[in-house]
Amino acid sequence: AVSTGAVPPGGHIDELLSRAYRHAERHREGAVADYIPILAQADPEAFGLCVADVEGGLHELGDTRTEFSIQSISKVFVYALLCDAYGHERVLDVVGVNNTGLAFNSVVAIELNDGHPMNPMVNAGAIATTALVAGDTPERRWTTVLDGLSRFAGRALEVDDEVYRSESATNHRNRAIAQLLGSYGRIEGDPLAVVDVYTRQCALRVDARDLAVMGATLADGGVNPLTGERVVSADVCRDSLAVLAASGLYERSGEWLFEIGLPGKSGVSGGLVTVAPGKAGIGAYAPRLDPAGNSVRGQIATAYLSRALGLNVFASD
């Protein structure tokens, strides 16, 4: 484990966590996602907050054991696995690292950039990333994704079949995105088979505690602080966190960085993972979203924690 010292000892952090929680809990703005029909059934009041430090310490409050589908948060972990397998240059070339300035499911962004997906945190780039996963059959590729994300979480993750079916039945746009990428020669093989693996990865069940541990693994240079297992290299963590800083909260990434000063990744079911390099991962779950698709309470609680714990990477003291 990377040595810390900067995250204060137990008692103090629990007090700050509780203040962050109470501060964010008052916020009821935003709306639960409903473009994937099953997501509309989420409890809008659900709220869980967890900090996992790189020494393996866990601090939790609220609904941290309520499971939800990981959705777009899967993108950063699949990306990290791919960077580990292919290296910095190839992934930079094929998927890119620049913010689109447009919504996560934008087709326009692809057209404006000669079919290049721009970055791995929007759907086009995530589908192009999943397309690179090695394996001769979709089933083998899926196993690689499932095993990799489970190692980040430190436990065997499972697909939520209801979410998978609900999204599969309605994801015309992701299929269109994949076929558009295919038409530009940016995806090898069957684009629809890639969307199927992508849809399964988005339907993996996690809780806020899992997100904190997965984030702490990126914070810890690729070693899961609970299992002690190395999942990816420290170089891959550095590259993946740079990508998150630029695009983790889509077109709101600038505002996020300005307020919080840490790499983070959101998902439409209301999950949010934030990484304080060398220190900790923060996992949040609260389903009401801002217009860009980012958890409202998650952002507010994380901003509080970043300030209270002095985690902003741009701060000099």
Interface with ligand GLN, residue 164, by CB under 6 A: no
Interface with ligand GLN, residue 267, by CB under 6 A: yes
Helix axes 138-153, 208-219, angle to 10 degrees: 90
Q: How far is the CB of 225 from ligand GLN (least distance, A)?
A: 25
Choosing from 47, 104, 142, 152, the residue that interacts with ligand GLN (CB under 6 A) is 104
Interface with ligand GLN, residue 273, by CB under 6 A: no
Is residue 86 annotated as involved in ligand binding?
no
Helix axes 253-260, 234-247, angle to 10 degrees: 110
Six token digits for residue 6: 């900067």
Name the residue with tokens 């292919």.
Answer: 86
Choosing from 218, 293, 298, 304, the residue that interacts with ligand GLN (CB under 6 A) is 293
Which residues ranging from 30 to 89 are in contact with ligand GLN (CB under 6 A)? 71-72
Name the residue with tokens 């891959």.
Answer: 236
Is residue 174 annotated as involved in ligand binding?
yes
Name the residue with tokens 């040595």.
Answer: 3
User: Smaller CB distance to ligand GLN: residue 266 or 306?
Assistant: 266
Q: How far is the CB of 268 from ligand GLN (least distance, A)?
A: 4
Q: How far is the CB of 68 from ligand GLN (least distance, A)?
A: 11
User: Smaller CB distance to ligand GLN: residue 262 or 272?
Assistant: 272
Is residue 123 annotated as involved in ligand binding?
yes
User: Smaller CB distance to ligand GLN: residue 202 or 219?
Assistant: 202
Is residue 79 annotated as involved in ligand binding?
no
Choosing from 38, 83, 268, 301, the residue that interacts with ligand GLN (CB under 6 A) is 268
Interatomic CA distance for residues 34 and 42, integer angstroms: 10
Nearest to 53 by CA among 204, 205, 247, 223: 223
Name the residue with tokens 């692809």.
Answer: 110
- Neighbouring CB atoms inside 10 A of 100's CB total 23
Is residue 106 annotated as involved in ligand binding?
no
Interface with ligand GLN, residue 174, by CB under 6 A: yes
Q: Strand pairing partners for 204?
A: 159
Interatomic CA distance for residues 112 and 226, integer angstroms: 43
Print burial letters for 67-78: b (CB count within 10 Å at least 16), e (below 16).
bbbbbbbbbbbb
Interface with ligand GLN, residue 278, by CB under 6 A: no
Which residues ranging from 107 to 126 are in contact with ligand GLN (CB under 6 A)? 123
Interatomic CA distance for residues 275 and 226, integer angstroms: 16
Q: How far is the CB of 233 from ligand GLN (least distance, A)?
A: 26
Query: Which DSSP state fits 295?
Result: B
Binding-site sequence positions: 72, 123, 167, 174, 198, 250, 268
Annotated binding site for substrate: 72, 123, 167, 174, 198, 250, 268
In the complex, the residues that contact ligand GLN under the rule CB under 6 A are: 71-72, 104-105, 123, 167, 174, 202, 267-268, 293
